[in-house]
Structure 1
Amino acid sequence: MDSLSQLTLGAAVTVAVMGKRVPLWQAALVGGVAGTLPDLDVFIDHGDAIRNMTLHRTESHALIFLTLFAPLLGWLVAGATRSRAYWRGWTLAMWLALITHPLLDLTTVYGTQLGLPLTDFPYAIGSMYIIDPLYTLPLLIALLVALWRRDAVGLRWNQAGLLVSTLYLGWSMVAQSIATQHIEQALTQQSVQPEQLLVTPTAFNTLVWRTVIMTPDRYGEAYWSLLSPERPLQISWHGRQPALFAPFKGQWHAERVAWFSHGFYAMKQQGDRTLISDLRMGEEPDYTFTFNLGSPQSPEVAPQREPSMRPSLSQAWHKLRERL
């Protein structure tokens, strides 16, 4: 999720744990920092764009490592805030602020390797868009009320914000399940038998869902709305061009994108450049993660990410209204 959501969640969790044992602003500040810490791995340059993408959300998001780090961080915070008597409370607060970060990331489609060092599988539920105001705003408003009031009523507001935002995460998974069921029925009616199916929300909402339908030679993209469930599913089909992947089979960068995307990738030839796109993020024809692999005869040693064209806010709003 976005940095504001992670900061707010970390602050709200820490305020809820520490209560009135320490100043609320202090708990919120420390929690906000702790909730942001795992994402500092974005500043590590691993040498090329594909490594940077697939090595984000790794050790810094692993539940085991964060659990081991929490007591040390709790002890340091207790010393820095001169509240040694609350060391255990700070440790619990830091642990929750840290682990809720990857758990929230888990709801997005990107992929979070939270099982390290036992497994490097990039887990992803894909029920939440990376930015969703309906998740963040209740959490933020309730936290601000708590900091403003600084009393028991404020703490109850903070708890209510955590409850509402968590229920919204649950709703996103229910909505994803409903969307998936309708889309699968529509595909059956159209005699489409996908090898893989991805259903994930469009920007800033959980009402309009994007689906990616994978077959051996092509992929389809379609949109389904909770507000118009009976509207026929209109699929736009595009070639995957699997023959372009064959010469790169065994090449680390190409295999890495194929693995990280869970098979939701497509190839494209532009002159002497072979492009590979992760189809999970973005939409046709612009994908957030598209990389230039070079050519089979001269593969790129350090593939770079291709620039993507993001729609303006007015264009995005127009598309959302149409799809609703």
Structure 2
Amino acid sequence: MDPVTQAALGAAVGQLVGGRVLGARAALAGACAGAAPDIDVIFSAGGDWYDSLRLHRGITHSLFFGPVIGPALGALAWHLERQRFTAVRKRGFDAAAAPLPDAAFGTRQRAIAWIAVMSFGLLSHPLLDVLTSYGTQLLQPFSDARFAIHAMPIIDPVYTLLLLLGVALGVRRATGHSTPRVTLIAAATLLVTSVYLGWAATINARAEAWARADLAAEGVDYDQLSAFPTLLQIHYRRIVARSNDADHVGYVSLWKPCDIRWESAPRLRPASAEAFLASREGRIFDWFTMGWLRFAPAGDDPSLALRAVDLRYGLDTDPNRSLFSVELHQNPQTAELGPSRPGRGAALERMNLLGTLAAAAYPATCPVG
């Protein structure tokens, strides 16, 4: 999810596992650890768009990253804290002027608290990211398999605000050695927000059940069906159903479920698809889409040999449009294929579609006809 949410979750986790010992430091360190795995965006700084698809949510999002790197970061934080306190005491400040009581430093309890905050803060990041549709490589470096539970959108203001409220209440209670209330507040915050995440996952399952019933009533056969979160809320779901012959796309709001208006398009396998899938770019994009790759009509552009789209990330019911797409161009005279590049839709059109999605998420009545 977005960096603010990841930092807020890390802060709440830090307060839970280290707030009683570390005070307000636990929230700050947890926030840094919670946001840190997204540093992987710099791994592809010298590469291309396909490198960013391949490397983001990779090794730093592994379930093994926190348990391995967290203890080292925690030990480093503990060491730096001890050095700082020693320097303060050498300058002649008394214990009351120091950030924490003298007896609290250099103890095994503080070392364990720092290690716990860093380790669990790092681990909280992939556990939240896997609840989105993007795909997270939880088993790196042993496998590049992508995992996704289609529960949450990339940005959800309600979830973020719940976390921030809980963290803020905990920080207010954290003065020097935190009172036990900080731990209780953090536990309550994580409990409430976890219920929200579970509710989102339940909504996705209900959306899939609603879509199956709707397709059955229309007599439409399919082999594969999934619901995907959209944007900024958890109620409005994009539904994609696939058969060997066609792709079907529709939307349903579990705030007020209505009959789904489907748009269908035949599945294509143009001759240039094999060449694309055999290329480095094609293999990466196919892997990225997690089984939801679609080849769309090239249209009237004679230089366009192929369009490949990710069905998970459309903004309307047209199966041929997606936020993630690839265009493979060719020389109109020689038909020689050129390099593929990311598709680029009109920014204004996308913003208009975002507005349509927001209005459709909470309808007052079901549309007629």
Same fold (TM over 0.5): yes
1:271 corresponds in structure 2 to: 302
Rounded Cα–Cα distance in structure 2 between residues aligned with 1:81 and 1:305 = 49
Q: Aligned with 2:338: secondary structure?
A: coil
CA contact (8 A) 1:214 1:264 kept: no
Quote how far apart the aligned CAs of 1:33 are.
0.9
Rounded Cα–Cα distance in structure 1 between residues aligned with 2:322 and 2:261 = 20
1:292 corresponds in structure 2 to: 327
Q: Does 1:282 align with 2:310?
A: no
CA contact (8 A) 2:250 2:260 kept: yes
Q: Does 1:238 align with 2:238?
A: no
CA contact (8 A) 1:221 1:237 kept: yes
Quote how far apart the aligned CAs of 1:254 are.
1.5
In the alignment, residue 309 of structure 2 is paired with which amino acid? S
Q: Aligned with 2:240: secondary structure?
A: strand
Shift in alpha-carbon separation, 1:315–1:211, aligned structure 2, 3 A? closer
Give TM-score, length-normalised by structure 1: 0.91
- What do the CA deviations read for 1:36-67 (whole angstroms, capped 9, x no partner)? 11001112226221221132101111112331
CA contact (8 A) 2:253 2:362 kept: no
2:209 corresponds in structure 1 to: 181
2:150 corresponds in structure 1 to: 126
**RMSD over aligned Cα atoms:** 2.2
Rounded Cα–Cα distance in structure 1 between residues aligned with 2:357 and 2:130 = 25
Q: Does 1:55 align with 2:87?
A: no
Q: How many residues were matched structurally?
A: 321
Q: How does 1:139-218 map to 2 (within 5 A)?
A: 139-150=163-174, 151-218=179-246
1:27 corresponds in structure 2 to: 26
1:136 corresponds in structure 2 to: 160
User: Percent identity at matched positions?
Assistant: 30
1:42 corresponds in structure 2 to: 41
Q: Does 1:252 align with 2:276?
A: no
CA contact (8 A) 1:13 1:96 kept: yes
Rounded Cα–Cα distance in structure 2 between residues aligned with 1:80 and 1:305 = 48
1:311 corresponds in structure 2 to: 351
2:255 corresponds in structure 1 to: 227
Rounded Cα–Cα distance in structure 1 between residues aligned with 2:61 and 2:302 = 39
CA contact (8 A) 2:133 2:150 kept: yes
Rounded Cα–Cα distance in structure 2 between residues aligned with 1:188 and 1:314 = 30
CA contact (8 A) 2:251 2:261 kept: yes
Q: Does 1:92 align with 2:127?
A: no
CA contact (8 A) 1:111 1:123 kept: yes
Rounded Cα–Cα distance in structure 1 between residues aligned with 2:238 and 2:164 = 28
116-125 vs 5-14, greater mean Cα deviation: 116-125
170-179 vs 69-78, greater mean Cα deviation: 170-179
Q: Determine which structure has more spread, i.e. the larger CA radius of gyration.
A: 2
Shift in alpha-carbon separation, 1:275–1:138, aligned structure 2, 3 A? same
1:101 corresponds in structure 2 to: 125
CA contact (8 A) 1:208 1:323 kept: no
Quote how far apart the aligned CAs of 1:246 are.
3.2
- What do the CA deviations read for 1:85-108 (whole angstroms, capped 9, x no partner)? 211221122111111100100000
CA contact (8 A) 1:48 1:303 kept: no
Quote how far apart the aligned CAs of 1:305 are.
4.9
- What do the CA deviations read for 1:67-98 (whole angstroms, capped 9, x no partner)? 11111011011112224421122112211111
Give TM-score, length-normalised by structure 2: 0.80
Quote how far apart the aligned CAs of 1:116 are.
1.3
CA contact (8 A) 2:240 2:312 kept: yes
CA contact (8 A) 1:48 1:304 kept: no
CA contact (8 A) 1:61 1:101 kept: yes
Rounded Cα–Cα distance in structure 2 between residues aligned with 1:50 and 1:5 = 26
Q: Aligned with 2:326: secondary structure?
A: strand
Task: Structure 1: give runs of 5+ residues left out of the alignment.
Answer: none
Matching residue within 97, 112, 117 for 2:136: 112
1:78 corresponds in structure 2 to: 78
Shift in alpha-carbon separation, 1:98–1:308, aligned structure 2, 3 A? farther
Shift in alpha-carbon separation, 1:224–1:304, aligned structure 2, 3 A? closer
